[in-house]
Amino acid sequence: MECIATFETTHMALLFERTMRKNGLNVKIVPVPRSLSSSCGLACRYPCEEEERVRSMVQEGQIDVSGYHRL
């Protein structure tokens, strides 16, 4: 199963991607499904089994995530 994080701004999406990759996580920038949000249009996909680690890094890095979703 894949998870995605959505963002209000492109800057936060890119910061999320950079932070996760720097910490060894395999993430990918993807378009936000329109059923989830119409904000900045970018989301980051990551493995759901890394959810706890992702949330911890988001908090430490002060990254503004709009939402976490399972696909």
In order of their start, the domains of the chain are: 2-70 (3.30.70)
Question: What's the pLDDT tens digit per position in 1-16?
Answer: 789 999 989 999 999 9
User: Is residue 38's pLDDT more than 80?
Assistant: no
- Give me the amino acid identity at 9: T
Dig out the tokens for 46 from the structure: 């990551």
> What is the separation of C-alpha 38 from the centre of its chain, rounded to a whole number of angstroms?
15
Dig out the tokens for 22 from the structure: 């720097």
Distance CA 59, CA 69 (A): 17
Q: What is the pTM of this model?
A: 0.88
Distance CA 44, CA 33 (A): 11
